[in-house]
């Protein structure tokens, strides 16, 4: 596995740029890589501004960069260029400090007018430092980043989907694997399979769920419980089921049910790959889970979703689930949002 250095050049706390970096960092760690952060605002200001590369703190940061196999560089954009904090740090580095390294550049800013900062301001500097490969990178609009108390982050799909894509491409370069492409899914080519929860094909689903929940909620609360349910609950022997959707040899969506009571199955672990969202895969998973619940003799589905998952709540409403809460109230004031749905009883014609 690789050692990856991340460079935060935002002078602010809290920081939307750092929130985006935290999301990317979680994805890197979920792939088993070691991530070492360099936070430029924590470096001593006088040696940094005076170009004193031999200062112990600055030398230590440069050593982290030198030891890394790959680097993620993030910056806020204030005046049509990357931050001054990043500029003074890069100026202190040896001429080929990024030689042989793969670099992912990311930026945030308040207006689309700054969208070319990565390509026209930051990329040339990274190239001059000898970077072996510089990823596509991405510019995230500040309006697409919502921060919550406690470190929670909600990204607009206009930001989360491409950010996921460039991170996947960065990971593929590091790991020497083929880039997984997104795009339209051909519904007829999607295969639904029931597997055991410890099936290796379920691993991407489970890893991505942990990243998603920890990103949106920032810390473990009553609204974010994910791993409190043992995997054994989803086995057929326990009255559960685990469903995956496959497309093009990849796991693209999935979900599970477990016994809630004698007549009710609880839906858990709903997930769709960022690269294939808004294409009906969530509906397909719910239909497969409903069929699995009927096969196991259940008459009702029950689920809860978190208050910072508006897409999930919208999906459940659109697929016939009835909200068991005041839909006019602020979701943050409610906590977990419960839904139920009756499973139609299939009538059998006597022969």
DSSP-derived secondary structure for 312-324: HHHHHHHTTPEE-
Res 224 pLDDT > 70:
no
| pLDDT at residue 221 greater than cutoff 60 | no
Residues 236-253 have a mean pLDDT of 90
pLDDT, residue 222, reads 46
Helix (H) or strand (E) holding 247: strand 241-247
| CA pair distance 271, 253, nearest whole angstrom | 5
3-state SS, one letter per residue, for 63-90: HHHHHCCEEEEEEEECCCCCCHHHHHHH
Question: Which domains can be identified in the chain, with CATH numbers?
Answer: 3-175 (3.40.50.360), 187-342 (3.40.630.30)
Instruction: Give the model confidence (pLDDT) of 303-330 as tens digits.
Output: 999 899 888 999 999 999 999 999 999 9
Q: What is the mean pLDDT of the chain?
A: 89
Percent of residues, the chain, with pLDDT higher than 70:
94
> pLDDT class for 20, splitting at 50, 70, 90?
very high
In this prediction, residue 213 carries a pLDDT of: 84
Q: Return the pLDDT at 335.
A: 86
Model confidence at 267: pLDDT above 70: yes
Residue 163, both tokens: 């950010």
Predicted confidence (pLDDT) at residue 250 exceeds the cutoff of 80? yes
Of the pLDDT bands very low, low, confident and very high (cuts 50, 70, 90), residue 178 is low
- 3-state SS assignment for residue 46: helix
Residue of 132, 141, 163, 125 whose CA lies nearest to 16: 141
pLDDT > 90? residue 291 = yes
Q: Do the beta carbons of residue 337 and residue 321 sit within 8 Å?
A: no
Query: Mean pLDDT throughout 267-283?
Result: 88
Given a cut of 60, whether residue 262 has pLDDT beyond it is yes
Q: How far is CA 241 from CA 22, 147, 207, 223, 238, in A?
A: 33, 35, 19, 24, 9
Residue in the structure block whose two tokens are 């096969």: 295
Comparison of pLDDT for 20 and 274, the residue scoring more: 20
pTM, rounded to two decimals: 0.82
Q: What is the pLDDT of residues 82-108, one digit of tens each?
A: 999 999 999 999 999 999 999 999 999
Q: Write down the residue that tokens 């990856």 correspond to.
A: 4
For the record, the structure tokens of 108 come out as 């945030």
| Average confidence (pLDDT) over 109-135 | 93
Given this model, what pLDDT does residue 286 score? 95
């Amino acid at each position: 596995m690789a050692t990856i250095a991340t460079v935060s050049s935002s002078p602010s706390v809290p920081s939307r740029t750092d929130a985006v970096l935290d999301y990317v960092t979680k994805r890197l760690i979920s792939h088993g890589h070691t991530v070492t952060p360099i936070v430029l605002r924590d470096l001593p200001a006088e040696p940094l501004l005076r170009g004193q590369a031999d200062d112990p703190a600055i030398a230590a940061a440069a050593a982290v960069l030198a030891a890394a196999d790959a680097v993620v560089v993030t910056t806020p954009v204030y005046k049509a260029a990357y931050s001054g904090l990043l500029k003074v740090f890069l100026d202190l580095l040896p001429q080929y400090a990024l030689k042989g390294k793969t670099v992912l550049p990311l930026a945030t800013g308040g207006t689309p007018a700054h969208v070319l900062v990565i390509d026209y301001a930051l990329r040339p500097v990274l190239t001059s430092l000898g970077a072996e490969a510089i990823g596509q990178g991405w510019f995230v609009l500040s309006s697409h980043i919502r921060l919550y108390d406690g470190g929670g982050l909600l990204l607009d799909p206009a930001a989360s989907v491409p950010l996921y894509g460039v991170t996947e491409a960065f990971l593929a370069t590091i790991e020497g694997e083929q880039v997984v492409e997104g795009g339209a899914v051909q519904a007829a080519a999607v295969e639904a399979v029931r597997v055991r929860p410890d099936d290796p094909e379920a691993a991407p689903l489970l890893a991505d769920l942990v990243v998603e929940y920890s990103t949106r909620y920032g810390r473990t609360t009553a609204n974010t419980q994910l791993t409190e349910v043992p995997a054994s609950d989803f086995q057929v022997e326990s009255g559960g089921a685990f469903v995956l959707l496959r497309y093009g040899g990849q796991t693209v969506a999935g979900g599970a049910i477990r016994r809630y009571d004698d007549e009710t199955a609880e839906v858990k672990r709903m997930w769709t790959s960022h690269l294939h969202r808004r294409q009906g895969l969530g509906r397909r998973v719910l239909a497969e889970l409903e069929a699995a619940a009927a096969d196991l003799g259940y008459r009702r589905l029950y689920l809860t979703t978190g208050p910072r998952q508006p897409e999930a709540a919208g999906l459940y409403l659109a697929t016939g689930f009835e909200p068991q809460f005041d839909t006019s109230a602020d979701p943050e004031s409610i906590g977990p949002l419960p839904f139920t749905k009756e499973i139609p009883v299939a009538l059998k014609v006597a022969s």
